[in-house]
Amino acid sequence: MAIPKFDDLQLNEFQLKFQLPEFDETAEDAEERFISPEEARRISEAARKLLEAQASIGPKGKDGLRPKEPAWFREYMNLIEQGYPWRVACYMAWASSPKIGRWPESIEKLATDILGLKSARVIYTWRKKRPELDTLVGMLQGAPLWEHRRDVLDALATMAMQPDYKAHNDRKLFLELTGDYVPRSLVGLGKASADGGLAEMSDSELRRWAGDSPTPSPSPFSKYENGEETSPTPGPSPFSKYENGEGEEEEDAE
Q: What is the pLDDT of residues 109-144, one digit of tens each?
A: 999 999 999 999 999 988 988 888 888 888 888 766
Split at pLDDT 50, 70, 90, the class of 62 is confident
- Between the alpha carbon of residue 24 and those of residues 28, 37, 106, 123, 214, the distances in Å are 7, 10, 23, 12, 65
- Contact of 28 with 122, CB cutoff 8 Å: yes
Distance, in Å, from the CA atom of 173 to the CA atom of 169, rounded to the nearest integer, reads 6
Cα 184 to Cα 199: distance, rounded to the nearest angstrom: 22
**Which of 21-30, 104-113, 136-145 tops mean pLDDT?**
104-113
| Minimum mean pLDDT range among 48-52, 155-159, 162-166, 242-246 | 242-246
- Given a cut of 70, whether residue 69 has pLDDT beyond it is yes
pLDDT-based confidence at 2, cuts 50/70/90? Answer: low
Task: Examine the pLDDT at 108 and tell me if it is beyond 50.
Answer: yes
Average pLDDT over residues 183-187: 65
Cα-trace Rg, the chain? 36
- Position 89 scores a pLDDT of 92
Indicate the range of 59-63, 134-138, 184-188 predicted with least confidence.
Answer: 184-188
pLDDT score recorded for residue 10:
57
Among 24-28, 77-81, 174-178, 241-245, which range has the highest average pLDDT?
A: 77-81
- Please report the pLDDT score of residue 140 as a whole number: 86
Confidence at residue 21, expressed as pLDDT on a 0 to 100 scale: 44
- Please give the Cα distance from 75 to 141 (Å, whole number): 11
pLDDT at residue number 120: 94
Quote the percentage of the chain above a pLDDT of 70.
62
- Cβ atoms of 58 and 68 closer than 8 Å: yes
Q: Which residues contact 190 (CB under 8 A, 6 or more apart)?
A: 182
Q: Is 23 helix (H, G, I), strand (E, B) or coil?
A: coil
- Taking all residues of the chain, what is their mean pLDDT, rounded to a whole number? 76
DSSP H or E segment with residue 105: none
Does 243 have pLDDT greater than 80? no
Cα–Cα distance, 69 to 58 (Å, whole number): 9
pLDDT at 31: 87
